[in-house]
């Protein structure tokens, strides 16, 4: 997480211990750093004189080798401390570790990063202690903020009219950022948005309320503050769809980029997306390079494309929580490899001509939402969902076809289902009374004469 205080804490530690070392260096590593410049900066920090006759042959490789050798020679009998601040790329450590030899003098290297993958990569070749810095609790963070921001006025307290606004802006940041994953002027189904918030873990539970009810409160609050606009209401007069203003969306997109929260991908235009982005919106047919291993950190995928044929790339995204095909067209099957997405919590093929679920769907034991509304699926076997004990929303609709047949099984009543809609129960209907968390039920009962 950016802005949590990693650099500030590292600087305090550095200032406190720097006098205990023979030499020291503080280097801020940019996202697009150059290895040669990094080594040169390290030499400058250590006070090592640069040689003017270092050869630059072999694409600069000889120069890099010479600098590494020079640094190692200098550190041979010295106790050193080096801070590398704001590291983004996992390959950083392999670029620098050979210059920082272990001379048994008690040298220390400290790295600050937003990426746990950077820390894990360092562990491959070195002994590493990872400290996951946590944000201050609100009861400590808020007084600290007020003391700094209003120290010389308002008695060190935040004016009430600003306090309400700032708390909303801070507490609802992830929820607003997720809105930026949708296309410009897109009308977002409120239930769809709420379930994605829950699946992403953006909602904190409150007493006597479901996560979805808490999320609905957040969405209502955003609407009341005109940060989100109601674009469609239900026949009962409740908000059904919403959108965000273009100006707010532009602000959200900039924040998304700064935080590596997500990225919009237009491969047909030759565009690319940051390999550090955690969420991806696909706007046209995905090219083959999207399956590259460096994109495996993606947590969420939304599709708004008319040519989504190659779905094999999904199996690369092992950390996926949200997979939404609702905006895709010409899409008629789910790959068998779907079952390998162990962390998947949200899967929607609503309004698609998918006719059956892959047999591996039963392996998705963390799945919370399965949206088949308007799809071609007309039968769900008990063995396909018997292990999906975390399922909260199982959604269908009749449309112009036969009702979906759902075969209940003994133990189905132990599920955490809140919505079971538009299905025809074939047997074991008594299991329904055990679904104590159910909020919405739509079934069809057929009798023969």
Give pLDDT tens digits for 55-69: 555 555 788 899 999
User: What does DSSP say about strands 188-189 and 239-243: parallel, antiparallel, or unpaired?
Assistant: antiparallel
Residues in the chain: 449
Question: Which structure tokens are listed for 312?
Answer: 């094999």
Give me the pLDDT at residue 318, please.
Answer: 80
pLDDT digits 0-9 by tens, 278-312: 888 888 665 445 555 555 678 888 888 766 655 66
Question: Which structure tokens are listed for 384?
Answer: 């396909």
Residue 186: strand, helix, or coil: coil
Which of 96-105, 250-259, 321-330 bottoms out in mean pLDDT, i.e. has the lowest? 321-330
User: What does DSSP say about strands 239-243 and 263-265: parallel, antiparallel, or unpaired?
Assistant: unpaired
Give me the pLDDT at residue 194, please.
Answer: 95
Give me the pLDDT at residue 164, please.
Answer: 59
Residue the block writes with tokens 């750093």: 33
* Largest distance between two CA atoms of the chain: 99
Residue the block writes with tokens 């809140």: 418
pLDDT digits 0-9 by tens, 184-231: 878 899 999 999 999 999 988 888 888 999 999 999 988 887 788 888
- What average pLDDT does the segment 354-367 reach? 83
Which of 210-219, 273-282, 326-335 bottoms out in mean pLDDT, i.e. has the lowest? 326-335
Enumerate the H helices of 236-352 as residue ranges. Answer: 246-259
Domain extents for the chain? 6-123, 172-243, 248-444
pLDDT digits 0-9 by tens, 9-43: 998 999 999 999 999 999 888 777 788 888 988 99
Query: Closest Cα partner for 275 from 36, 91, 35, 1?
Result: 91
pLDDT band at 444 (very low <50, low <70, confident <90, very high): low
State how far the Cα of 365 lies from the Cα of 374, in Å rounded to an integer.
24
Q: Please classify residue 41 by burial: count the beta carbons closer than 10 Å to its beta carbon, then call 0-12 exposed, 13-18 middle and 19+ buried.
A: middle
Q: Which residues contact 67 (CB under 8 A, 6 or more apart)?
A: 36, 39, 40, 43, 54, 99
Question: Which structure tokens are listed for 226?
Answer: 């005109």
State how far the Cα of 393 lies from the Cα of 211, in Å rounded to an integer.
12
Q: Give the C-alpha distances (Å, rounded to integers) separating 204 from 114, 344, 437.
A: 22, 19, 18
Which of 127-136, 157-166, 362-371 bottoms out in mean pLDDT, i.e. has the lowest? 157-166
State how far the Cα of 413 lies from the Cα of 257, in Å rounded to an integer.
43
Q: Please classify residue 448 by burial: count the beta carbons closer than 10 Å to its beta carbon, then call 0-12 exposed, 13-18 middle and 19+ buried.
A: exposed
Q: What is the pTM for the complete model shown?
A: 0.59
**Side by side, which strands form the sheet with 229-233?**
188-189, 239-243, 229-233
Q: At what angle do helices 35-46 and 61-75 cross, to 10 degrees?
A: 30
Query: Closest Cα partner for 87 from 126, 59, 120, 60?
Result: 120
State how far the Cα of 119 lies from the Cα of 293, in Å rounded to an integer.
18
pLDDT at 381 over 60: yes
Give me the pLDDT at residue 89, please.
Answer: 86
Give me the pLDDT at residue 400, please.
Answer: 42
pLDDT band at 79 (very low <50, low <70, confident <90, very high): very high
- What average pLDDT does the segment 45-62 reach? 67
Q: Name the CATH code of domain 248-444 (choices 3.40.50.300, 3.40.50.10190, 2.70.170.10, 3.80.10.10).
A: 3.80.10.10
- The residue that leads in pLDDT, 375 or 320, is 320
Which of 48-52, 293-297, 382-386, 389-393 bottoms out in mean pLDDT, i.e. has the lowest? 293-297
How many Cα atoms sit within 13 Å of 79 on the Cβ side?
9
% of the chain exceeding 90 in pLDDT: 18
- What average pLDDT does the segment 347-366 reach? 81
């Amino acid at each position: 997480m950016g802005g949590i205080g990693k650099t500030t804490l590292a600087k305090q530690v550095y200032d406190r211990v720097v006098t205990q070392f023979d030499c020291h260096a503080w280097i801020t590593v940019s996202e697009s750093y150059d290895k040669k410049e990094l080594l040169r900066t390290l030499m400058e920090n250590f006070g090592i004189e640069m040689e003017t006759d270092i050869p630059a042959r072999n694409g600069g490789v000889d120069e890099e080798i010479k600098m590494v050798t020079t640094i190692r020679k200098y550190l041979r009998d010295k106790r050193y401390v080096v801070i590398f601040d704001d590291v983004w790329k996992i390959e950083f450590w392999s670029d620098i570790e050979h210059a920082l030899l272990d001379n048994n003098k008690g040298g220390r290297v400290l790295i600050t990063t937003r990426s746990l993958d950077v820390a894990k990569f360092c562990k491959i070749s070195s002994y590493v202690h990872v400290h996951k810095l946590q944000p201050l609790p609100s009861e400590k963070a808020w007084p600290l903020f007020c003391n700094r921001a209003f120290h010389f006025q308002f008695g060190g307290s935040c004016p009430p009219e600003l306090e309400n606004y700032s708390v909303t802006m801070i507490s609802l940041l992830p929820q607003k950022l997720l809105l930026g994953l949708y296309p410009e002027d897109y009308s977002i189904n409120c239930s769809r948005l709420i379930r994605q918030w829950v699946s992403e873990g953006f909602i904190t539970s409150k007493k006597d309320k479901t996560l979805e009810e808490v999320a609905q409160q957040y969405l209502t609050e955003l609407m009341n503050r005109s940060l989100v606009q109601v674009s469609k209401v239900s026949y009962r007069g409740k908000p059904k769809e919403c959108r965000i203003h273009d100006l707010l969306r532009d602000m959200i997109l900039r924040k998304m980029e700064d935080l590596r929260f997500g990225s919009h991908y237009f491969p047909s235009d030759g565009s690319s997306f940051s390999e550090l982005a955690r969420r991806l919106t696909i706007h046209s047919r995905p090219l083959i390079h999207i399956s590259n291993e460096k994109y495996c950190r993606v947590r969420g995928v939304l599709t708004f494309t008319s040519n989504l044929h190659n779905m094999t790339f999904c199996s690369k995204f092992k950390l996926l929580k949200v997979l939404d095909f609702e905006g895709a067209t010409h899409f008629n099957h789910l790959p068998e490899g779907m079952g390998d997405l162990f962390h998947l919590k949200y899967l929607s093929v609503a309004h698609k001509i998918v006719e059956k679920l892959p047999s591996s769907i039963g392996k998705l034991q963390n799945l919370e939402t399965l949206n088949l509304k308007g799809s071609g699926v007309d039968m769900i076997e008990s063995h396909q969902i018997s292990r999906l004990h975390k399922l909260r929303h199982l959604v269908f609709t009749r449309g112009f076809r036969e009702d979906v047949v759902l075969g209940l099984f003994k133990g189905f009543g132990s599920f955490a289902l809140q919505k079971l809609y538009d299905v025809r129960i074939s047997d074991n209907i008594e299991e329904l009374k055990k679904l104590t968390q159910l909020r919405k039920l739509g079934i069809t009962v057929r009798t023969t004469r």
